[in-house]
Amino acid sequence: MSTTNQSPLPFKLQLLELTSTLSNLAKRLLDILLVQGVRILGQKILNRLNRVNFNRMFRHRLYQQADKPVLRAKVLADASLGKGPLISLIVPLYNTDLTHLNEMIESVLHQNYPRWQLCLADGSDAAHDDVGKTVALFLAQDDRISYIKLATNQGISGNTNAAMQLAHGDFFGLLDHDDLLAPDALAEMALVIHRQQADFIYSDELNFTENLDHVRLIHFKPDFALDNLRSNNYICHLSVFARDLVDRVGAFDPQCDGSQDYDYILRLTEKARHIVHIPKVLYYWRIHGKSVASDISVKPYCLDAARLALSNHFARCGVQATVENNTILSTYRIRYPVSQNQLTHVLITVEDRNQLARLLYVVKQDAGAPVVYCLIVPENVLASAKRRDSWQQNMLKGNASCRFVYYHREESLAAVLNREIRAVESTYVALLDGAIVTVSPQWLLELLMFVQRPDIAMATGKVTYRHIVQQAGLATGVHGSIGAYHAKRVDGEPGYMARLQMVNNISLADRLAMVFARQRFIEMGGFNEAYHRDFFDLDLGLQWHKAGLPSVFTPYATFAIDDPRDLPVEVLNHGLSFTSADRKLLKSMWDDVMKQPDLYYNPNFNPNHARFDHR
């Protein structure tokens, strides 16, 4: 057959592939339009257009930092660093692809930090003896490489333990046999160890296919967040940790093979004295057909191993909890038992009678825990005794444990709430805003799971308006103020790294929907009564944040509002003039804290919003 007859074929195949892609895209768009409507379709398209191109971002930053190795060499030459810690990289080998093996070893040889040891334990079968032969070529070049050929494959944990036996470093780092290190990976780790005396350090990472011209995803991580870690192994790579920690926690557990790194990170962080996150991409995780990075369903036993690792973690910590698979694979839902003998007072601040009418639904909903509702209402909203009695009877029909408290608008709302909270005998307090029109079943139970813990300040849920997420907790450092996580996402979307579908640590919450322990509130001194009507809730949250107490967002408690302009962050950043005195007070007391980069966001993201992977 002539070449003239063959040449159109690749073009036809490309055209068919393009036609199929466009057809599938059109079907998806039509499905969204028919089921969710034009407004949601428009928001999804806008979000997609605003999403960060990780491949372009990585290339741009790589080129921007082309002179960085020279700079790093100068820093490392500083006499204050001395010899620096010896970092032993632990790599179990098993039937490793030779191209991947060569690239992995080369990435270590090209490190800008010289004090490393590469520990390789090879469990490959006889058909893959070329793995050992390839390593032998490198052994002849560099005596910092240590290698052992195992008599039998001992599994991922056993092979890793064998590699660890070769290590004589001050710190250990975990590296998979088909992944790569960024040139400055160990230099950055050594600097943090030296300057901050950290004993557990982790970095950001990326996923790539084929080569680094094909970056699929960059995982920009939060600083250490225990509840994030209990939901998903977000720490993963690159992790470096002190020998002292290894001596204390012991070897890898073969029972957790498949999620052995998750198990080990949980054990290490339980014992670590000082955990530091380096917000730089120092690890390159290769995606291929047999990797978990490609698809967790490639290795479904990993999910069982992860649940076992988490169950063991809770047992060691003395915490009662059940571990379940979440809706997103490789994320987990933790349920903590909540006593049904402890009462929660739910205080709902109301602005007008329209809000009162909608709250009938809220008080009827099953909160999942013993509750007393208290509606905080300005006197002029229900001026006559007859109206007050009528509304009281209506609310009692919805919930027998419901009462009204009236106050003058001239009075400080913070003072009114303080008075009520101090007078009641409940264990917990929830604040809701009258702008809320619906709540999810058992919303309170989902929030109490976290505030019953002594290490958590407040808990909040997901707030939506007409099926668009308005906030999922609050962050500092957003355009120099406080901002909302995940704003403008379509409800039901997983969000960046599935963070809208799992429990996260957050910096603070607001009175739109927040729950806290009453005794902790009293010990903190309650709300600052210098505020008249706004921002006393943010003030309290910032106090707890400054004291080092994290808060929690859970997607399993959801709230819908009738007007996004009622969001406290909207009032703070775009509010009306009558809030100016409260705004000035908040800024005078907390401006420096509000401007600080958020612990649970990441400095690589756009600081003008908290939407993660949006430009």
pLDDT tens digits, 252-270: 999 999 999 999 999 999 9
Contacts of 245 (CB under 8 A, 6+ apart): 199, 200, 268, 271, 272
Angle at 97 between CA 96 and CA 103, to 5 degrees: 100
What pLDDT is attached to residue 261? Answer: 97
> What average pLDDT does range 378-386 have in this prediction?
80
What pLDDT is attached to residue 382? Answer: 79
Assess whether pLDDT exceeds 60 at residue 449.
Answer: yes
Strand ranges, E, within 85-179? 87-93, 116-122, 145-149, 171-174
Assess whether pLDDT exceeds 60 at residue 167.
Answer: yes
Q: Determine the Cα–Cα distance for residues 532 and 412; give it in Å rounded to an integer.
A: 4
pLDDT tens digits, 468-524: 999 999 999 999 999 999 999 999 999 999 999 999 999 999 999 999 999 999 999
Q: Which runs of consecutive H residues, i.e. helices, occur in 300-352?
A: 301-317
Assess whether pLDDT exceeds 50 at residue 4.
Answer: no
What pLDDT is attached to residue 67? Answer: 45
pLDDT tens digits, 10-68: 666 666 666 767 677 777 777 777 777 777 777 767 777 777 788 888 877 654 454 45
Which residue from 200, 218, 353, 216 is spatially nearest to 283, judged by alpha carbons?
A: 218
Does the global pTM surpass 0.85? yes
pLDDT band per the 50, 70, 90 thresholds, residue 402: confident
> What average pLDDT does range 84-103 have in this prediction?
96
Largest distance between two CA atoms of the chain: 97
pLDDT tens digits, 552-575: 999 999 999 988 887 888 888 887
What pLDDT is attached to residue 569? Answer: 87
Q: Determine the Cα–Cα distance for residues 45 and 52; give it in Å rounded to an integer.
A: 14
pLDDT tens digits, 326-358: 999 999 999 999 999 999 999 999 988 888 888
Write down the mean pLDDT value for the chain. 89
What pLDDT is attached to residue 400? Answer: 66
Assess whether pLDDT exceeds 70 at residue 247.
Answer: yes
Assess whether pLDDT exceeds 80 at residue 443.
Answer: yes
